Structure 1
């Protein structure tokens, strides 16, 4: 569904150049449920904007559903945003039009595409658990309900890819759990590929793969090794050790053979004192050691 190769994004302002992405590689399979995490300024929101057709890379390759986003004309990009991708913003003011009802908000993308499907809009409201709120306006909905309507809007035109930018950032922890469960349900029921950008590493509990971005590159991947159903069973049976050991973290080796070391390892080995590290092959394993002192 998504192929990023050596993706670079440079923002220029007067004589200043800022590298938001520095040769990022990423592949996302069709139907996958995954998250992208990283600290502020790591480049994760820049990547999401490019996947959504809101910004273009400075260099590299970016394909979504077979579409080359670097070569899209303006008209093709509009079609891409209407038909291929759905977007859920953290700020509900960007998701909803306040003077329209929940049902009318969901119908609007369909009207922009030249069709109106009242039954589909009602089905989407039911899918997000808000069929009883169809005729309520923005001021009559809670923050969590507004976010659920936003997810239904993003699904209105049957996109192949659903993007969510910090979708739980403006709700409490209980509602955040419900929204993440809803993304998993949508991924399963609609077969849509879901990419969630967040700063919360706890999202790994809800998704199948987490890609960490650091300094504009993918630094590690956390991959589920226990099915979500088995994890829930472990939690319900109170086997805490089993419930916690559900994912495995991997460092990412880029095309040039480079990898980023986890921050905790760098600190523990005292590698900040130098920009060098000893690399040794021992019995089929690679060992990384601090430089030998003079």
Structure 2
């Protein structure tokens, strides 16, 4: 472990620690594209959380770097106590086999079409050289409630059923982190809700950390924490006002509507280590600033007030 890491980076309760993470791509015509520009994020062991943002915000880039499918340009990325900047090729292979599991939106990346559900999971177990493959494959299919379809080919299964098999495959190496990139993007809303309920059940049953990337904030309402990324930085977080168990009790008693995202979560803006704050574009637009680079800031009765310098 790098001795120059600050105290936050040494906190063992975090399984993922990103500090000032930067990712720059070069296009074919040698133009630089900044996907992440100083992103800070900590994820606790056993957390069920989502990362949301518009296309191009950097959320999938972050997921790929946590999965060691892409390399950061600068900053620090510590996962399960490992500095991903310093891993050798052999260590990266071991990391992928032992630490992370992936669920993709496109089932073609998850599944082999000419194999049955059981054979797909057995293949994943073969890659990690596990014994008793059939027994373990059935266990994982049962965990995602699809064991009754174990002998069916993929053409005989619905999109939701295929995604359940994909989740079973992602769990086959017993990962510490399950990474899901738009896992509900190709199914209807009813099936999406079932898949998200499944993620919660898995999280509660086996304690695996689950990170879901999605562009849909309403879908993300089922997780415990939501981090919003804008322009390559964390801009805000939505955290639960009440625990999920308390929420379920309230729903059963008819105290509030479970579908209302705002009733379950509270939004918090994110300050980086230098005290900088990302202000939502709609807020700045409402101020109608003449100079788009400057804003007046005042402390008033324990509140920070932002306003156009031309109006006060």
* Structure 1 gap ranges (5+): none
Worse-superposed segment, 162-171 or 234-243: 234-243
Partner of 2:161: 145
Q: Pairwise mapping of residues 190-269 of structure 1 onto structure 2 (< 5 A)?
A: 190-240=206-256, 244=260, 245-269=263-287
Worse-superposed segment, 196-205 or 229-238: 229-238
2:218 alignment partner, SS class = helix
Alignment partner of 2:181 out of 165, 181, 204: 165
Q: Please state how far the C-alpha of 1:241 moved relative to its aligned partner.
A: 6.7
CA distance 1:204–1:113, change in 2 (3 Å): closer
Q: Is the 8 A contact 2:214 2:220 kept in 1?
A: no
Partner of 2:137: 121
Q: Is the 8 A contact 1:234 1:243 kept in 2?
A: no
Partners of 1:80 and 1:12 lie apart in 2 by 27
Partners of 1:124 and 1:272 lie apart in 2 by 59
Normalised TM-score (structure 1):
0.96
Partner of 2:193: 177
Q: Please state how far the C-alpha of 1:293 moved relative to its aligned partner.
A: 4.9
CA distance 1:141–1:224, change in 2 (3 Å): same
4+ residue runs over 6 A deviation: none
Number of aligned residue pairs: give it. Answer: 294
* Structure 2 gap ranges (5+): 1-14
Q: Deviations over 1:72-92 (max 9, x none)?
A: 111111111111100000000
Q: Is it true that 1:188 corresponds to 2:201 in the alignment? A: no
Give the superposed CA RMSD.
1.6
Q: Please state how far the C-alpha of 1:273 moved relative to its aligned partner.
A: 5.3
Q: Is it true that 1:68 corresponds to 2:87 in the alignment? A: no
Normalised TM-score (structure 2):
0.90
Partner of 2:5: none
Partners of 1:162 and 1:111 lie apart in 2 by 19
Q: Is it true that 1:22 corresponds to 2:32 in the alignment? A: no
Q: Is the 8 A contact 2:50 2:225 kept in 1?
A: yes
Q: Please state how far the C-alpha of 1:180 moved relative to its aligned partner.
A: 0.1
Partners of 1:138 and 1:130 lie apart in 2 by 12
